[in-house]
Structure formats: structure tokens, C-alpha cells
Amino acid sequence: MQKIAFSLLLFFSCLVRVQANDSLTLAQSYINLSLTVEYFDSLSSERVARILPFLEGELKGISNQQFRQENEVLLLLSEAQLQFLETKHSFVNRKSLTRTQLLHWKAQLDSANSLVNEIWKSSHPSDWKGNEYYQLIGVTKENFELLTKGISSLKDSLNKQVNLDLYPDFKRLYFKAKNQGDYQFDSLQYLVGIYGMSLNFEILENSDFPREKIPSKNNPKGTLRYELAQGIALINQYLQLDYIAKKAKHVDSRPELHNSMAKLRVQFNPEDSLNFNDLFGLYRQDIPKDEFFRTEFSAKNIDDLSKKLNKKFPLRPGETLRLDLSQNAGMGLEPKPAVEKFYFPKVAPFPSSKIAIPDFLPATERLGDVDTHIRKSFEAAGYQGRLHYFYLHEPGFAVTTAIERIQKDGSPVSPEDTRWDLRGNPSGSFSLYQVFRSIFFATESDFRIIACLVSAAEARTGSEQGSFGFFTRLLENSYSTLPKDLRNMKLKDKTLTILVYHFFQSDIGQVPVLDQSKRLTVNQHLEKTPSLRNLTAN
């Protein structure tokens, strides 16, 4: 009863915004911020724009120094959430994108991350479980991890834009070197230094380029580390080798020079019009491999540069390369590290409904073509960018949809933006956190995942159910497209097994459970989603 009374007090204090003591103000602020972090993608921009300034004012109004010291961790956590949300809201709703804006977002996000680091110094999230007050207002390790993952994800989005911002300047300086012979390595280093990154000039250090003119390494800025796109780094490496081929009169190590050239060719991967390569044969797509890369760094141009270096600085008797250039894929570099593959369960969890279609697409053997048929049906039904691919423990593949909200008859909810609005999945226990969830969101929801398994025989399903959390974790460990090694695999006799997992959440605060009523068949689900009826057409 005390918890309920306390909850109601907080509830009404939030509704009428009366003067509350610092404990209630901090609790209210933290809960609203954590809910906004968790459901940011489901909230309108206008609503977030109203929430954040109000909560910023509330936190600033907590002036009692003794209270601030006693609640340092909760204040740091609330401030970190606020900084993160302000950055994300501004970034997502940007009208334009300038270097000044990028630097502002980068600094603001770094401030949020610095606050997170301060939390780690004074408290460990795993210890919060025993704090009754924290449990009451939803201060959990899971919420903390949601914030840190959000910061990391937003940093990656900013990182991409940072590289796209640098790219035009790198192209400009490349053409200046190519057309005028003016190699401005210091300008290249200055540009990346704006964002706290640094270029490597080891290739240039191997030549007679004046040591005093080789750019010094930039010091990193902030607590978040940004990574230079491989394509941009390769432009810098190419220019260093091009300088040596055209202007250098001496190199310290000829084998090292030709090693650098061999590595450059592997990473430019000129035979592939879309992908760069790393030194382990793994694809990189930090920035688009556009016409500039395909033209300026074609196989012919790369070979021409290699010939110039070989002619100018041939290996002397007794000198050998460290690389075994007879190996095609890795060009003699270190063996590829083992890459974890993402598999769909060998025995699929018990579904709400199931159908198996033998002799599926009998005239199509290549799995890449089978995927094209399935993917087009899904994309026509609104699943663009919302498919998850997996290996099977046998020849074939699995593809599932993202978790979506549906009507009780199996049709997608409308409007479209609410279809992917996942507002459930709380712990089910009573707390102030759940009270605010109820304030924020509507009750009662249906969710669905459709899984398609292409294999030689009908997919096996077990009697054990997969929880809502199980599928959430499963989808986090998947591929966005069919893995390359599966695309050219051929499977003559194929069965398409379609599994529908329909979850029902009776109320906010309740865990979604699998609908086992069998009231909807797979075909009924497909019929209610336009274009999916084509999925089973041979």
C-alpha cells in the first residue's frame, strides 16, 4: 500500500506539475527520460521536443548540494540520458547537415558518454539490483545498457556522417595531387584531426620525404573513438605510394614498399564494384564505393602504380616480400579470423501456426534467386529493411521479419509508423516505472514474426515455446541480407516452411505470450497482409 500511495503521489505531481521535493523531482525526471530513451523511435518529434526542455529544467532545479551528493549516480544517469536524447533528437530531425553541426553533436554525445564513465567509477550497475528505491523507479542494469548501446549506435551514425563530410575534401586533395603534383598531406591530417582522428604516414616515412614535413599524429579527442572510413584511409595510402612513384629518389625498405602496395590492392578490391576489403578478406562499406573509386582506383590504375614502383625500386638480390602473392583471396596476409555465423535454431520453437510447401520453386535452384522471390514479396508488403537472415544447420537458409504490431485478424496496424511501434516487454512487476509506462502508452497489443525456412525437407518444430525476449535476442544476431556464400549455393529439391509466431500482450506491464489458439492459420495471416499471398506462389 505504501508503494501504491507513493506511486499515486508521483503520478499526480507529474500531471499537475506541482512543486515536489527533490526526491520526487529526480524520480519523475529519471523515469520520463528512461522511457523516452527506450521508446524514442515510437514517439513523435513534437512530443520529445516538449519533454526534454521540461526535464532539463527539472534537473537544474535540484540545487540542494547534500541531496546531489547523496544521489550522485542517479543524477549522472539522468543527465547522461538527457544529453544523449538531446543529441539524438537534434540529429534525427536535422534539416541540414554541416561540419559545425557534426562537431556540436559529437561534443554533446561525448559529454553523455563522459557521464556514463563517471557512473562506472562510483557504482557498478550489477549492484543496483539490491537497491529498493532503484527497483521502484526502474533503475536497472538493463536500462543502463540500453543507454550505453544507444550512445554507441548514435556514435556509429555520426561516424558515418563524419566520413561522408570528409570525403569531398579528400577527393579534392586527391585531384590536386593528380593534376598539379601538389601532395598536401598536412591538409589531409588536419581534416581528420577536426574529428579527433589521425592518418597513418608509415608509407611516406619509408621514403626520402622530408621528415619535418610528415604530419604528426593527432591526439584523440573525447571519450568516444571515431573510425576513419576505409575508402578515405586508402586514398591517403594511395597518394603516399603515388608520391613515391613520381617524386621519391630513395626508399629505406623496398620489400616494405611493395608490401604496402600489395596490401593496398587487396583493400581497394577493384574487381568488386561495390565493396572494399579488409586485410582478412572481409567486406567493408564505410562509405559508398562510387564512380570515383571505380574510375580512379580501377584494377588497371592500381596495376599501373604497382608497375611504376617495381620499375623505380625493384627488389635487390636477396630481398624478398613478406607476403606470399600467390594467394589470391588474402594476398598472403594473416589467415582470416574465425567469423561467428548466425544460425536459426536447429529445432524451431513451437509456432502459432505452420505450413510446409514441398517442391517450392522447382525451376529455381540457386538460393540467391529463391531469396529474390521471397524478399520481393516481403518488400512489397512493407518489410523493406526489416528482414533478418540466418544460416541453417543444413543446406538452405532462414529469413524472418522484424517484430511488428498487428490487428487481431492478422492485418498490420495502421498508420504505418505504428506498425513498428513496439511498446511492450516490461518486467511485469509493480513499480513507479510501470505506472509511467501506463501513462505513456496504450494497452493491449498483438505482435508477429514470420519465419521462412528454405531447406531440403520440412523444418522441424519442437514443443518448447520461444519467449518474446528470445526472439528479440535472436533478431539482434542476424544478417540484413542473404550471406554471400549462400547466394550461389544450389538446392534442387526445396521445401518452404513458414512459421508464424503471434504474441499477445494483454496490458502494459504484462509479458507478451505466444498465441496458441490456432484461430489464425498461416494463410490467413498472409491473406491479411497485402502482397504476402504471393509468397507461396510457385
Burial class of residue 520 in the structure, from the number of CB atoms within 10 Å of its CB (0-12 exposed, 13-18 middle, 19+ buried): buried
Query: How confident is the model over 241-269, as pLDDT tens digits?
Result: 999 999 999 999 999 999 999 999 988 98
Is-contact 107 63, C-beta < 8 A?
no
Mean pLDDT of the chain: 85
Q: Give me the count of residues in the chain.
A: 538
d(CA 236, CA 171): 10
Average pLDDT over residues 77-83: 97
Of 453, 376, 443, 348, which Cα lies nearest the Cα of 405? Answer: 443
pLDDT over 50 at 109, yes or no = yes
Q: Say which DSSP state 421 is in.
A: -
Cβ contacts of residue 477 below 8 Å, gap of 6+?
342
Query: In this predicted structure, what is the pLDDT of residue 129?
Result: 81
Is-contact 198 218, C-beta < 8 A?
yes
- Beta-carbon count within 10 A of 323 CB: 18
Query: How confident is the model over 1-16, as pLDDT tens digits?
Result: 344 444 434 443 443 3
Q: Which residue did the predictor score with more confidence, 440 or 198?
A: 198
- Beta-carbon count within 10 A of 164 CB: 16
The x, y and z cell numbers of residue 79, run together, are 543527465
Query: In this predicted structure, what is the pLDDT of residue 188?
Result: 97
pLDDT class of 286 with cuts at 50, 70, 90? low
Which residue type does 136 have?
L
DSSP of 114-141: HHHHHHHHH--GGGGGG-HHHHHHT--H
Of 99, 260, 238, 218, which Cα lies nearest the Cα of 173? Answer: 238
The continuous run of DSSP H or E covering 254 comes out as helix 254-268
Average pLDDT over residues 508-517: 72
State the number of CA atoms in the 13 A half-sphere of 352 facing the CB: 26
pLDDT over 90 at 468, yes or no = no
Average pLDDT over residues 394-411: 93
Cβ contacts of residue 48 below 8 Å, gap of 6+?
36, 40, 85, 89
Cβ contacts of residue 77 below 8 Å, gap of 6+?
30, 115, 119, 139, 144, 147
Mark 83-100 as b/e (b = at least 16 C-beta within 10 Å). Answer: bbbbbbbebeeeeeeeee
d(CA 399, CA 412): 19
d(CA 505, CA 189): 54
CA distances from 205 to 209, 214, 243, 248, 252 (A): 7, 8, 12, 11, 9
In sequence order, the β-bridge partners of residue 501 are 449
Q: Say which DSSP state 505 is in.
A: E
pLDDT over 70 at 113, yes or no = yes
Q: Please provide residue 59's backbone torsions phi and psi, each rounded to the nearest 5 degrees.
A: -65, -40
pLDDT class of 510 with cuts at 50, 70, 90? low
Cβ contacts of residue 484 below 8 Å, gap of 6+?
none
The x, y and z cell numbers of residue 136, run together, are 521502484
Query: In this predicted structure, what is the pLDDT of residue 278?
Result: 66
Cβ contacts of residue 176 below 8 Å, gap of 6+?
182, 184
